[in-house]
A and B are shown apart, each in its own frame.
Chain A
Amino acid sequence: MSAGFFMQSVEQGLVYAIMAIGVYITFRVLDFADLTVEGSFTLGAAVAATLITKGYHPVTASLVPILAGASAGVITGLLHTKGRISGLLAGILTMTALYSINLRVMGKSNVPLLRTETAVSMVKGIIPEVIATLVFFALCVTVIVLLLDWFLYTETGFAVRATGDNEYMIRSLGVNTDNMKILGLAISNGLVAFSGALVAQYQGFADAGMGIGMIVAGLASVIIGEVLLGAGSIPRATIAVVGGSIVYRLAIAVALLVGFRASDLKLITAVLVVIALVSPRVKDMLNLNKKASVTGS
């Protein structure tokens, strides 16, 4: 793998890590499989691209999507808590609705951002171009990880974590768990949309289909991170997600190098996640067999 290719994978790993952190919040902290992600990622990209082409400052165009994504998360949260729709279905409904909304926002299915000033091109004007993107994304990820780590140790952060851990318990201590779920979904999808906004500026376009497969890619990053780096404490777990995202992008790059097609990647990712989810069970089973054979002999 060439140095350039390697660096590109790390850049991608970092920018998608922000999305993966969003998935971590719902999947691991709230224990909620949230499919809104597929729509809110695209929403972030769509809002950013549209704002940029309308002449807004790239900073504005990168931050407004956070609010858009958070609103999407709130809607899924309301459907689930007040509407009593299952979490999975609530996410699917919002995701489906967002598909239409994203097309409305963009006006067409693809908005190119070539030859326009973006957050990424701006940074390239400030620091040496070769490392500019990498440094910029690393900085964004660092700030987000630190903020999230801090939040999860605040009183409200405790309540959000406990809601995912043992809803009965925290309700019996006076917390409105509905609100905590909505808050968690808002933060998660806000981050996912921010990631989408940056990805659009990084790759130079927003596309209506760019969110497809995002949830599984996010899960893959979360799980790879846990396997490789562990998840003993919150800071450990969030850093692991970032590491997992980078490793995942590197693995994808290697898969392409050895001759897989880009269109095969979703299958590869899905298989990867299945292996990661199933392997603890297989390990247990192997251990049991071993024990059985030891006592049997």
Chain B
Amino acid sequence: MLRLENVTKIFNPNTVNQKSALVEIFLELAEGDFITVIGSNGAGKSTLLNVIAGVYPIDAGSITLDGNDIKGLPEHRRAYSIGRVFQDPMRGTAPSMTVEENLSMAMARGKKRGLKLGIRKDQRQFFADRLALLELGLENRLKDKVGLLSGGQRQAITLLMATLTHPRLLLLDEHTAALDPKTAKKIVELTEKIVGENNLTTLMVTHNMEQALRLGNRLIMMHEGRIILELADDFKQKMTVNGLLQEFEHLRGEAFVSDRVVLAT
């Protein structure tokens, strides 16, 4: 359903700061695929998600979603069918607006926004039901401003907002990295639950190798703008964290360098 062909992204071309963030990437996602993405710092993981979402244009190659070339579409148009959760919990919600206002804006994803009232009475129960699934008591705080909530609560709402309208594609970029371990665990559980129940096609970047192996049905490892390892479901199930590290050293002839890799299982 999503197909990246020969995708290349070069930052600051023809300057001393030239940086090839993505080099001739081929990647194909089938309907319902849940792919975890790992790799050292600066490997190009965020850039991969950003070019899919249309944050910046690519320098070569093509990106198709459901057979349509989306390369030329601006970010907000691609957002019609792509949900995102960012690493920064502050980034996915509007702090001075209420919980229900935020959710209603997510409900309007991909629809024309006109002069109808932003929140209609019949939506409130739906929002409350959805929030109740998060098991954070947020269903009682529909009218609170999001800025009053904790980072974990905001990230949970962002996850809900990203998936509320069943987007064709879900992009998660280290969306638990900024949270404390307990909250991060909770958000990971929610992610599994929501992705699983809705059978969402998902790309998830993580620095936690154990998580990358446990979640999803495929795994890719990136290094210096390339995908250097791809594990299909059966291989992924048999793989261990140590196995992954050895694989990396074998492929690259150097130790896996990252300040955030989580080795513990």
Interface residues as binary, B97-125 with A (CB distance below 8 Å gives 1, 0 otherwise): 10001001110111001111111000000
Name A161's closest neighbour in chain B (CB-CB): B97
Interface string of B111-154 (1 = CB under 8 A from A): 00111111100000000000000000000000000000000000
Closest residue of chain A to B74 (Cβ to Cβ) is A176
Bitwise, A97-117 to B at CB < 8 A (1) or not (0) is 000000000000000000000
Q: How far is the CA of A161 from the CA of B96 in the complex (A)?
A: 9
Contact residues in A for B114 (Cβ distance below 8 Å): 154-156
The interface-forming segment of B22-30, B79-87, B215-223, B254-262 is B79-87
Bound CA–CA A173/B114 (angstroms): 15
Q: How far is the CA of A155 from the CA of B264 in the complex (A)?
A: 46
8 A Cβ contacts from A112-168 to B: 151, 153-159, 161-162, 165-166, 168
A83 in the interface, Cβ–Cβ < 8 Å?
A: no
Q: Is B105 a contact of A173 with CB atoms below 8 Å?
A: yes
Residue A175 interfacial (CB < 8 Å): yes
- Select B76's contact among A158, A162, A177, beta carbons within 8 Å: A177
List chain B residues, Cβ under 8 A from A173: 79, 105-106, 108-109, 161
A171 at the interface (CB under 8 A from B): yes
Residues in B with CB closer than 8 Å to A151 are 115
- Residues A172 and B79 in contact in the complex (CB < 8 Å), given A154-B115, A154-B117: yes
Task: Flag if B118 contacts A157 (CB, 8 Å).
Answer: yes
Range class of the B interface residue count: 20 to 34
Chain A nearest CB: distance from B227 CB in Å?
25
Sorting the interface of chain A by its residue count into under 10, 10 to 19, 20 to 34 or 35 or more gives 20 to 34
Expressed in whole angstroms, the Cα–Cα distance for A174 and B83 within the complex equals 9
Q: Give Cα distance in the complex from A176 to B97, angstroms.
A: 19
A contact face: mostly helix, strand, loop, or mixed: helix
> For the complex, is B93 an interface residue (Cβ under 8 Å from A)?
yes
CA distance A162 to B53 in the complex (A): 19
Residue from A156, A157, A158, A174 in contact with B109 in the complex, judged by beta carbons closer than 8 Å: A174
Across-interface contacts of A270 in B (CB, < 8 A):
none
Q: Using known A-B contacts A153-B118, A171-B75, A176-B74, determine if residue A158 contacts B101 with beta carbons closer than 8 Å.
A: yes
Please tell me if A7 contacts chain B, counting CB pairs below 8 Å.
Answer: no
Interface residues of A in 165-201 (CB under 8 A from B): 165-166, 168-177
What residues of B have a CB within 8 angstroms of the CB of A175 in the complex? Answer: 76, 79, 113
B193 on the interface (CB 8 Å rule)? no
A171 to B118, CA, bound (A): 17
Determine whether B94 belongs to the interface, using a CB cutoff of 8 Å to chain A: yes
Contact of B115 among A156, A161, A168, A169 (CB under 8 A): A156
Q: Which of B75, B91, B117 contacts A166 (CB 8 A)?
A: B91
C-alpha gap A155/B103 in the complex (Å): 12
Question: How close is A177's CB to chain B, nearest CB, in angstroms?
Answer: 7
Verify B91–A168 contact, CB threshold 8 A. yes
Give chain B residues whose Cβ lies under 8 Å from the Cβ of A171.
Answer: 75-76, 79
Query: B252 contacts the other chain (Cβ, under 8 Å)?
Result: no
Q: Given the complex of chains A and B, what is the CA–CA distance between A161 and B83 in angstroms?
A: 20
* Interface presence of B44 (CB below 8 A): no
8 Å CB contact of A154 from B53, B92, B118: B118
A165 CA / B102 CA spacing, docked (Å): 11
B77 interface hit (Cβ, 8 Å): yes
A166 to B95, CA, bound (A): 8
B223 to chain A, nearest CB (A): 27
Q: Which residues of A contact B106 (CB under 8 A)?
A: 173
**Distance A175 CA – B77 CA, assembled complex (angstroms):** 8
Nearest residue in A to B164 (C-beta to C-beta)? A173
Closest to B161 in A: A173
Cα A157 to Cα B104 in complex, Å, equals: 12
Give every chain B residue within 8 A of A177 (Cβ-Cβ): 76
Residues of A within 8 A of B113 (CB): 155-156, 158-159, 175
* Of the residues B76, B93, B115, B161, contact of A155 by C-beta under 8 Å: B115
- B96 to A, closest residue via Cβ: A165
Q: Are A162 and B94 in contact (CB under 8 A)?
A: yes
Nearest B residue to A157 via CB reads: B118
Judge whether B92 and A172 touch: CB under 8 Å. yes
Identify the B interface with A (CB < 8 A): 53, 74-77, 79-80, 83-84, 86, 90-97, 101, 104-106, 108-110, 113-119, 161-162
Q: Which residues of A are in contact with B by a Cβ distance under 8 Å?
A: 151, 153-159, 161-162, 165-166, 168-177
A-B pairs with lowest CB-CB distance, top 9? A155-B113, A165-B94, A174-B79, A158-B118, A162-B94, A166-B94, A154-B115, A172-B84, A176-B76
A selection of 14 A-B contacts at a CB cut-off of 8 Å is A154-B114, A154-B116, A154-B118, A155-B114, A156-B113, A157-B118, A158-B101, A161-B94, A162-B105, A171-B75, A171-B76, A173-B79, A174-B76, A175-B79
Beyond A155-B104, A161-B94, 10 additional contacts (C-beta under 8 Å) are A154-B116, A155-B108, A156-B115, A157-B118, A165-B97, A168-B91, A168-B92, A173-B106, A175-B76, A176-B74
